[in-house]
C-alpha cells in the first residue's frame, strides 16, 4: 500500500504543484522517487514529529497541500496536540500518513503497534479519518486527498497487500468523502471491514463458502449516512472488524452512527451488531502480524454468521 501511495502521490504532484511531502527520517526505499522528482517540495525534518506537524501547518498556511509521513504512532500519537491545535483547529491543508497501521510491524513491539490512533483522531473536529483496505483504495484515497482541502489522516498497511477489489471482480474509481465500498453481496449478514482487515475478511468468507456480504469502509470519519442506512436495512446482522482497540475505533463509530440514525428515526430497525477488534490490551509477544491478530482476538468465526 505504501508503494501504491507514493506512486499515486507522484502522479498527482506532477499536475498539483501545491503537493509537499515531509518525512521524519523514515520512508527509506519508499519516498526517494518523490524526493528525486520534486526536490523543492520534499523535506526530511529529522526524527522530530512535533516539529514536522508544526512545519506542515505553517507550509499549509502558505498554500501548500502538505503530506507528512512516518510510522504508525510517530506522526499521530507523538504529535497529537500539534495535530489537534496547529492542524485541525487552524483547519489547514495537511495530510497525515501513517504506515504500518495495526500490527503491521508486529515483532517490533508495542511502540510500533498503531492500535489506538483512530479512536483519538476521530474525536478531533475538522479531520477526515481514512483507512484504505487495499492498494486500489489507497490510490483512490490519495487522489481524493490531493484535491480535498483540509486535514486528513490516512492509515496504511505496509507492503504487499493483495488487490482485494480486483480479486472480487470489482474496481474502485474515484472515491467520494465517506463512501462505502461493496466487495461481496449475499445473505443476511454483512461484514464491515476497516483498513487492512479487508483481505482477511474476503478470504474468510470465500474459503468457508459463507453466504454473506462484505463492505469496505475506507473512511471512518465521515461515513456516508444515506449509504449506510441503505446498506443496514438489507441485513439482520452486522459484523465490524478492525485492527484497533475496540473502544473508540471503527466499530464504535458504526455503533454511534446507528444509534443516532435510530434516534432520529432515519433507521427503523436495529440490526444485531458483533464487533471484532482488540479488547483494550497490549500484546508483548513476538510473532507475525497474523499471529498477533489472532492473539488479540481479531478473527472472524463461523458462529458469528449464524443468526
Binding site for other proteins (CB under 8 A): 40-41, 43, 45-46, 48, 50-64, 81-82, 85-86, 89-90
Min dist. Cβ of residue 22 to other proteins (A): 9
- In whole angstroms, the minimum distance from the beta carbon of 60 to other proteins comes to 8
Compare residues 82 and 289 and give the one whose CB is closer to other proteins. 82
Q: How far is the CB of 14 from other proteins (least distance, A)?
A: 18
Full DSSP string of the chain? -HHHHHHHHHHHHHH-TTEEEEESS--TTTSHHHHHH-GGGEEE--S-HHHHHHHHHHHHHTT-EEEEEEETTTTTGGGHHHIIIIIIITT--EEEEEES-BTTTGGG-GGG-B-SHHHHHTTSTT-EEE--SSHHHHHHHHHHHHH--S-EEEE---S----HHHHTT----S--TT--EEEE--SSEEEEE-GGGHHHHHHHHHHTT---EEEE-SEEES--HHHHHHHHTT-SEEEEEEEEESTTSHHHHHHHHHHHHHHTTS--S--EEEEEEE-S--------HHHHHHHTT----GGGG--
Q: Which is nearer to other proteins, 10 or 56 (CB)?
A: 56
Give 92 or 292: the residue with its C-beta nearer to other proteins.
92
- Supply the minimum distance, in Å, between the C-beta of residue 55 and other proteins: 4
Beta carbon nearer to other proteins, 46 or 297: 46
Residue among 97 and 239 whose Cβ is closer to other proteins: 97
Q: How far is the CB of 21 from other proteins (least distance, A)?
A: 13
Amino acid at each position: 500500500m505504501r508503494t501504491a501511495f507514493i506512486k499515486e502521490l507522484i502522479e498527482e504532484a506532477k499536475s498539483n504543484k501545491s503537493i509537499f511531502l515531509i518525512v521524519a527520517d523514515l520512508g527509506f526505499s519508499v519516498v526517494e522517487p518523490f524526493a528525486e522528482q520534486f526536490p523543492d517540495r520534499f523535506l526530511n525534518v529529522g526524527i522530530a514529529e512535533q516539529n514536522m506537524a508544526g512545519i506542515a501547518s505553517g507550509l499549509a498556511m502558505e498554500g501548500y497541500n502538505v503530506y507528512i509521513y512516518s510510522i504508525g504512532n510517530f506522526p499521530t500519537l507523538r504529535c497529537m496536540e500539534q495535530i489537534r491545535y496547529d492542524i485541525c483547529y487552524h483547519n489547514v491543508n495537511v495530510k497525515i500518513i501513517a504506515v504500518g497501521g495495526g500490527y503491521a510491524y508486529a515483532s517490533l513491539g508495542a511502540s510500533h503497534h498503531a492500535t489506538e490512533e483512530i479512536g483519538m483522531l476521530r474525536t478531533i473536529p475538522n479531520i477526515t479519518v481514512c483507512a484504505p483496505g487495499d492498494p486500489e483504495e489507497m490510490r483512490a484515497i490519495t487522489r481524493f486527498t490531493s484535491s480535498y482541502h483540509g486535514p486528513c489522516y490516512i492509515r496504511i498497511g505496509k507492503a504487499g497487500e493483495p488487490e482485494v477489489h480486483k480479486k472480487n471482480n470489482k474496481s474502485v474509481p474515484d472515491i467520494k468523502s465517506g463512501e462505502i465500498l461493496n466487495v461481496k453481496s449475499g445473505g443476511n449478514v454483512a461484514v464491515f471491514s476497516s483498513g487492512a482487515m479487508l483481505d482477511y475478511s474476503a478470504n474468510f468468507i470465500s474459503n468457508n463458502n459463507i453466504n454473506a456480504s462484505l463492505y469496505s469502509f475506507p473512511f471512518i470519519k465521515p461515513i456516508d449516512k444515506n449509504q449506510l442506512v441503505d446498506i443496514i436495512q438489507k441485513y439482520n446482522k452486522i459484523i465490524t472488524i478492525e485492527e484497533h482497540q475496540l473502544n473508540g475505533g471503527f466499530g464504535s463509530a458504526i455503533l454511534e452512527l446507528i444509534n443516532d440514525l435510530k434516534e432520529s428515526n432515519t433507521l427503523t430497525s436495529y440490526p444485531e451488531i458483533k464487533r471484532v477488534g482488540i479488547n483494550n490490551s497490549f500484546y508483548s509477544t513476538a510473532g507475525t502480524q497474523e499471529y498477533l491478530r489472532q492473539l488479540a482476538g481479531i478473527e472472524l468465526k463461523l458462529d458469528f454468521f449464524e443468526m
